[in-house]
Structure 1
Amino acid sequence: MGIRLSHVNVIVHLFLFSVLVSKGSSLFESKTAVHIRNDIEGDSAVFLNFHCQSGDDDLGYRGLKFGEEWHWKFRVRLGSTYFWCDYQWYDNLNHRWYEGSHEVYDAKSDFPLVPHYFNLCHTDCVWSARRDGIYLLRHPEGTWERRYTWPGVF
Structure 2
Amino acid sequence: MGIRLSHVNVIVHLFLFSALVSKGSSLFESKTAVHIRNDIEGDSAVFLNFHCQSGDDDLGYRGLKFGEEWHWKFRVRLGSTYFWCDYQWYDNLNHRWYEGSHEVYDAKSDFPLVPHYFNLCHTDCVWSARRDGIYLLRHPEGTWERRYTWPGVF
Return closer, same or farther for 1:9/1:151 CA change in 2, 3 Å cut-off.
same
Return closer, same or farther for 1:116/1:103 CA change in 2, 3 Å cut-off.
closer
Distance, in Å, in 2 between the alignment partners of 1:39 and 1:140 is 21
* Cα drift, residue 17 of structure 1: 2.2
Whether the 8 Å CA contact 1:44–1:92 is kept in 2: the answer is no
Q: How many residues align?
A: 154
Whether the 8 Å CA contact 1:52–1:83 is kept in 2: the answer is yes
Return closer, same or farther for 1:52/1:5 CA change in 2, 3 Å cut-off.
farther
Q: Identify the structure with the greater strand proportion.
A: 2
Whether the 8 Å CA contact 1:22–1:112 is kept in 2: the answer is no
Q: What secondary structure is seen at the aligned counterpart in 2 of 1:117?
A: helix
* Cα drift, residue 122 of structure 1: 1.7
Range that drifts further, 98-107 or 117-126: 117-126
Distance, in Å, in 2 between the alignment partners of 1:79 and 1:19 is 19
Q: Identify the structure with the greater helix proportion.
A: 2
Q: What secondary structure is seen at the aligned counterpart in 1 of 2:72?
A: strand
Distance, in Å, in 2 between the alignment partners of 1:15 and 1:101 is 41
Return closer, same or farther for 1:22/1:30 CA change in 2, 3 Å cut-off.
closer
TM normalised by structure 2 equals 0.82
* Cα drift, residue 107 of structure 1: 0.6
Range that drifts further, 12-21 or 88-97: 12-21
Return closer, same or farther for 1:116/1:105 CA change in 2, 3 Å cut-off.
closer
1:5-154 matches, within 5 Å, as: 14=14, 17=17, 20=20, 23=23, 26-108=26-108, 111=111, 119-154=119-154
* Cα drift, residue 92 of structure 1: 0.7
TM normalised by structure 1 equals 0.82
* Cα drift, residue 109 of structure 1: 5.4
Structure 1: unaligned runs, 5 residues or longer = none
* Cα drift, residue 45 of structure 1: 1.9
What percent identity do the matched residue pairs reach? 99
Q: Note the alpha carbon deviations across 1:21-65, whole angstroms, 9 max, x for none.
A: 584664243200000000001334210000000000000000000
Q: Note the alpha carbon deviations across 1:48-92, whole angstroms, 9 max, x for none.
A: 000000000000000000000000000000111000000000001
Whether the 8 Å CA contact 1:110–1:117 is kept in 2: the answer is no
Range that drifts further, 99-108 or 37-46: 37-46
* Cα drift, residue 7 of structure 1: 9.9
Return closer, same or farther for 1:95/1:55 CA change in 2, 3 Å cut-off.
same
RMSD over aligned Cα atoms: 4.0
**Structure 1 runs, 4 residues or longer, greater than 4 Å off:** 1-13, 109-118
